[in-house]
Amino acid sequence: MNGSILTSNAYLRSDGRKGIRNIVSVVYLVECAHHVAREIQLPFREQGVHLLGFSGCYPNEYSFRMMRSLCTHPNVGAVLLVSLGCEGFNRRGLLEAIRETGREAELLVIQNEGGTRSTIQAGREQLAHMLQALEQTPRSAMTIDELIVGTVCGGSDGTSGITANPAIGRAFDQLVSENACCIFEETGELIGCEHIMVSRAATPELGDILNASVAKAARYYATLGHGSFAPGNADGGLTTQEEKSMGAYSKSGSSPISGLIKPGDVPRTGGLYLLDVVPDGEVRFGFPNINDNAEIAELIACGSHVILFATGRGSVVGSAISPVIKVCANPETFRNLPEDMDVNAGRILEGRAGLDEVGDEIHSLITRVANGQPTASESLGHQEFVLGYKSFEPIGPTCHPTYQ
Amino acid sequence: MLSAIRLFPTDNVMVLTRSLEAGETIELGDIRRTLQNPIGLGHKIAACAISTGEKILKYGAPIGSATAPIEPGEHIHLHNMKSDYLPTFTLDEGREFHHTA
């Protein structure tokens, strides 16, 4: 802890990490337990109880690692796992991993609890108890160099790369200069700008790794025959993947790139990190991320306390676990969906603000959100969550050269 | 005043900072071009004449190649440029298109 105070009211976890929210996660471990988990959560939805889960019945190392990272995220105070009973997810392993961090965690197995109705009843009793216990969570000062911020763009259009994305880049530059940790992602949306990006790597070896991660994404998407590009991107004036990439890339700002991480890796030092979201090995399991929320979940699994979401067409999503700040690139969209947006970066196009000014606005909003102010999507009850199948090789020391 | 910005000095495209209606005129130096169709905010227009196969430059970087000769002030989109990497997928009035890379 060394830096200016972000908040004096962070939630101190027994593993030493600090959160800016104190939520309870209800987690279904297979789609067959989804309804029961949702019914357990429903009466507590306004009280900081979030629903997340994994649909698949087959076990997968990546999904387990993601779920462990998410359930032990510093914004999470307690966890209730809901299992059907016969699925492949390692529920005991997850339960123990959560308890090892000192968090309260409970497991309900529907097939052992007497079915739907009795499991819902038992789960609601557990939640009431957990919420009461969470009121005693110790509070602590948290400095800006303990903060992790992730950024994503979704529903991009021709304005995203001119206003919201570079304004987030300015906020990132300021945060990195304060030794906070900033994460940008989606290597598939960096296709075409890898050569520019590599020159910012902290070491030449890291540069090679960044280049290889984008080449991997290009191969992956070429095999699938479809890039990270939606029809709305074209309606909004974007014509090609590489044009979208150049705009997306500007979210990273201009700081040196300190390392490359994969989903679930929490950076150990401040700086700017690229999150490699495209699986290793041959193409398996389909699209790397089936929508924006799959990327947001990965940023949160890397420890992001808060997410900066740039949108041009107007995405309305939020997320389970961490607050999402929506930075609207397009002034027409901002007027169309004002309640869903936190920052109007579109006024840059109308000559009513500069990039630095909007960057400062984003930075100060992060501070207010860290101090408890709800974001637009939090106020509207958004808690989207998606997790699928992937496979990754672990990162090596050259991926994180600034950490010895 | 033209409601478009050139993001980087070497770019051969400009980006519209407001939506333009059909019938509006784009002025680029001596060239005047009256729009046949509306063009939305954030879309690109040619800053100069561009020949077939030439790189389209935006942010100072290539974002694809021209697939037809393009006149100054003309709308640049899927009908006259393509990706150098991946095809672009669009939905147009319920019909699906895969634009080739």
Instruction: Find out whether A27 and A37 touch, Cβ atoms under 8 Å.
Output: yes
Are both A229 and A112 inside the same structural domain?
no
Q: Which domain holds residue B66?
A: 4-99
Domain boundary among A101, A136, A171: A136
**Helix, strand, or coil (residue A242):** helix
Query: For B39-58, what is each residue's pLDDT tens digit?
Result: 999 999 999 999 999 999 99
Instruction: Find out whether A215 and A231 touch, Cβ atoms under 8 Å.
Output: no
**B52 or B90, higher pLDDT:** B52
pLDDT tier at A222 (50, 70, 90 boundaries)? confident
Residues of A in contact with B5 (CB under 8 A): 162
Per-chain mean pLDDT for chain A: 95
pLDDT tier at B97 (50, 70, 90 boundaries)? low
- CATH code of the domain covering residue B35: 2.30.130.110
Are both A320 and A365 inside the same structural domain?
yes
Domain boundary among A136, A169, A184: A136
- Measure in Å the smallest separation between the Cα of A332 and chain B Cα atoms: 8
Residue A241 has pLDDT above 60, yes or no: yes
- Alpha helices, DSSP H only, in A135-163? none
A75 belongs to a structural domain = yes
Query: Does the distance separating the beta carbons of A196 and B85 come in below 8 Å?
Result: no
ipTM: 0.89
Is A236 part of the contact surface with chain B (CB cutoff 8 Å)? yes
pLDDT at position B1: 61
How confident is the model over A148-170, as a mean pLDDT?
Answer: 95
Are both A235 and A327 inside the same structural domain?
yes
Of B18, B56, B78, the CB nearest to A234: B78
Query: For B7-40, what is each residue's pLDDT tens digit?
Result: 999 999 999 999 999 999 998 888 899 999 999 9
pLDDT at position B99: 67
How confident is the model over A354-360, as a mean pLDDT?
Answer: 96
How confident is the model over A188-206, as a mean pLDDT?
Answer: 92
Are both A249 and A334 inside the same structural domain?
yes
Paired with A145 in beta bridges are none
Is B85 part of the contact surface with chain A (CB cutoff 8 Å)? yes
Strands A23-28 and A76-83, sheet pairing: parallel
φ, ψ at B59 (rounded to 5°): 60, 20
- CATH code of the domain covering residue A79: 3.40.50.2300
Residues of B in contact with A157 (CB under 8 A): 42
Residue B90 has pLDDT above 70, yes or no: no
How confident is the model over A104-126, as a mean pLDDT?
Answer: 98
Residue A144 burial (C-beta neighbours within 10 Å; 0-12, 13-18, 19+): buried
Residues of A in contact with B62 (CB under 8 A): 192, 242
pLDDT at position A43: 98
CA distance A335 to A104: 44
Are both A122 and A158 inside the same structural domain?
no
- Measure in Å the smallest separation between the Cα of A163 and chain B Cα atoms: 11
A16 belongs to a structural domain = no
Instruction: Find out whether A236 and B40 touch, Cβ atoms under 8 Å.
Output: yes
- The region that residue B66 occupies, defined by phi over 0 for left and psi between -120 and 50 for alpha, beta otherwise, is beta
Measured CA distances, A249 to A110, A156, A187 (Å): 45, 12, 9
- Give the DSSP letter of residue A287: -
Domain boundary among A74, A101, A136: A136
Of A160, A222, A240, the CB nearest to B88: A240
How confident is the model over A176-183, as a mean pLDDT?
Answer: 98
Instruction: Find out whether A390 and A285 touch, Cβ atoms under 8 Å.
Output: yes
pLDDT tier at A397 (50, 70, 90 boundaries)? confident
Residue B2 has pLDDT above 90, yes or no: no
Residue A200 has pLDDT above 70, yes or no: yes
- Give the DSSP letter of residue B70: B
Q: Which domain holds residue A102?
A: 23-136
Are both A69 and A185 inside the same structural domain?
no
Contacts of A154 (CB under 8 A, 6+ apart): A292, A295, A309, A310, A311, A315, A317
Query: For A315-347, what is each residue's pLDDT tens digit?
Result: 999 999 999 999 999 999 999 999 999 999 999
Buried b (16+ CB within 10 A) or exposed e, A184-211: bbbbbbbbbbbeebbebbbeeebbebbe
pLDDT tier at A230 (50, 70, 90 boundaries)? confident
pLDDT at position A203: 95
The 10 Å Cβ neighbour count of residue A117 is: 11
A4 belongs to a structural domain = no
Interface test with A, best of B43, B67, B81, B96 (most A CBs within 10 A): B43
Residue B96 has pLDDT above 70, yes or no: no
